[in-house]
Chain A
Amino acid sequence: MPHSSTTDADLLNLRELGAFASYTDAELQELESIADIRDALPGEFICREGDYADAFYVLCGGRARVLRDIDGARLELGTLKPGTVFGQMALIRRSERIASVVCIEPALVMTVRRAAYDAVRVTGSPLGVRLQMHNTIMAIRQLRKATHQLMLIYIRAEAGDREARISARQKRLKLVSLQSALADWGLPVDEIPEPNEHEGELPMSRREYVFRTTGRL
């Protein structure tokens, strides 16, 4: 169901959503001009796991749940709140979606298709630069968090706790790396489980990791 045309009030509301707090009026207007905005009903899928990524999305209103099939079981990875931008990594990679996103209440969804996204990037418009940098920062943070998870695995192995601890958390490590990535896509995803009591704020030096997990310097 197409939404009515966006007003200045709507742009201001977009800025209040957090992900766009630093966007200028011109950038928000350009974003609105290249995007489709529509209402979505509870239970409606915004994107599905396995589908080819041809757009990224902004959840302008309402909440949505992120689902993924792991070993035949459908798991909930987290909940997206208004202001969350998601789907860019698969769009950039030209890959399939690694998770499904479904609305859990009436929502307002902004969709930016590949053609529009590529067009603003090549023109060097303020929005194009903004989106490029936003996606670059996201990818860097995802890499850091994934490296963080891998270091935890190695540190546990070095400490000889492999049987006792990794076996208890191996599935959760995978989930957490995905959820951490989702957390970087906008407002924090709620109910992110902590894999262990030693996970702290990033960045953290490797020495600090070793010390906090093994007591050795």
Chain B
Amino acid sequence: MAKRDAVLAALREIPWFHGLADGDARALIAAGSAKFYVPGAKIYREGDDCDRLAILLRGALTVEREDSQGNALRVGVIRAGELAGEMGVFDPATRNATVIATVESTILEVARDKLLAMRAANPMLLVAIANVALNNAMTRMDGVNDRIERELRRSKAPKIVKLRPGQAHPATPAPAVDTAEQPRLKKLWAKLTRF
């Protein structure tokens, strides 16, 4: 009972949970299970089936992906109150990242089928979680689109042009020089290039 109260109190601190009824909170706790992880523990692995949602109640998690050489790249962090696995819960897929506890962490984990089964009895809870997943997806979508734009612009960047001696770069306009100054500049140039 004390553990359940502690989980309830932690849920109540999450901003997106504020407007939900006590009944929704208790239903979520009853459907899920609270789990504790030590630092370094792998909670989820890239490539596994994503059939559970995790709400981080306390602590911090690191999100990593493998690059083409198999090296682990840190791609993000999950802070208290945030979700892990929410996208796979709504649109089934394999996990696209590994989630590791950075510090001692407590999560409330709910299986996908149990979460979706709460649709009739706790619709506002499901709407709230779906809304968090939606906002997360849109925020990340903005970042990905920005990167696509940058990569496309970079591929359009002017190439390095090899110039022949004496040839001016086509993009560089010739400086405007007063004609009265030209004899003096010519003499100076001759002096500088004598060697």
Taking a contact as CB atoms under 8 Å apart, the answer to whether A129 and B144 are in contact is no
Asked if B127 and A129 sit within 8 Å, CB to CB, the answer is yes
Most buried by B among A147, A154, A174: A147
Q: Is A13 an interface residue (CB 8 A)?
A: no
Do A143 and B140 touch (CB < 8 A)? yes
Our pick among A89, A140, A162 for the contact of B90 (Cβ within 8 Å) is A140
Any B CB within 8 A of the CB of A141? yes
Task: Give the contact-size bracket for chain B.
Answer: 20 to 34
Asked if B47 contacts A205 (CB within 8 A), the reply is yes
Given A158-B68, A206-B65, the answer on whether A136 and B93 have CB atoms closer than 8 Å is: no
A42 CB–B CB distance under 8 Å: no
A48 within 8 A of B: no
Q: How many contacts between A and B, using CB within 8 angstroms? A: 96
Q: How many residues of A contact B (CB 8 A)?
A: 42
Q: Within the complex, what minimum Cβ distance (angstroms) separates B97 from chain A?
A: 10
Is residue A15 within 8 Å, beta carbon to beta carbon, of the partner chain?
A: no
Residues of A within 8 A of B147 (CB): 150
* Chain B residues, CB < 8 A from A205: 47, 94
B125 to chain A: closest residue by CB: A124
CB within 8 Å of B: which A98-118 residues: none
Choice from A136, A146, A154, A170 contacting B134 with Cβ under 8 Å: A136
* Contact indicator per residue, chain A 156-177, by CB within 8 Å of chain B (1) or not (0): 0110001000110010011001
Out of B87, B127, B144, name the residue touching A124 (CB < 8 Å): B127
A170 touches B131 (CB 8 A): no
Cβ of A186 < 8 Å from any Cβ of B? no
Overall SS of chain B's interface: helix
Q: Mark A121-148, 1 if CB is under 8 A from B, else 0.
A: 1001110110011011101111110110
> Provided the pairs A129-B127, A132-B131 are in contact, do residues A150 and B141 lie with their beta carbons within 8 angstroms?
no
* In contact, B133 and A136 (Cβ under 8 angstroms): yes
Q: A207 to B144, alpha carbons, bound, how many Å?
A: 20
Determine the distance from Cα of A216 to Cα of B67 in the docked complex, in whole angstroms.
Answer: 13
**Is the CB–CB distance between B123 and A174 below 8 Å?**
no
Which residue on A lies nearest to B148, using beta carbons?
A150
Known: A124-B124, A166-B155. A139 touches B138 (CB 8 A): yes
Show 25 A/B contacts (Cβ-Cβ < 8 Å), sorted by A: A121-B127, A125-B123, A126-B123, A128-B123, A129-B123, A132-B126, A132-B127, A132-B134, A135-B134, A136-B131, A137-B91, A139-B138, A140-B91, A140-B133, A141-B91, A142-B141, A143-B87, A143-B144, A157-B151, A162-B155, A167-B155, A203-B93, A205-B47, A206-B65, A216-B68
A129-B119, A167-B155 known, 12 other contacts, Cβ within 8 Å: A124-B123, A124-B124, A125-B123, A128-B127, A132-B134, A136-B131, A136-B133, A170-B155, A173-B148, A174-B152, A203-B93, A203-B94
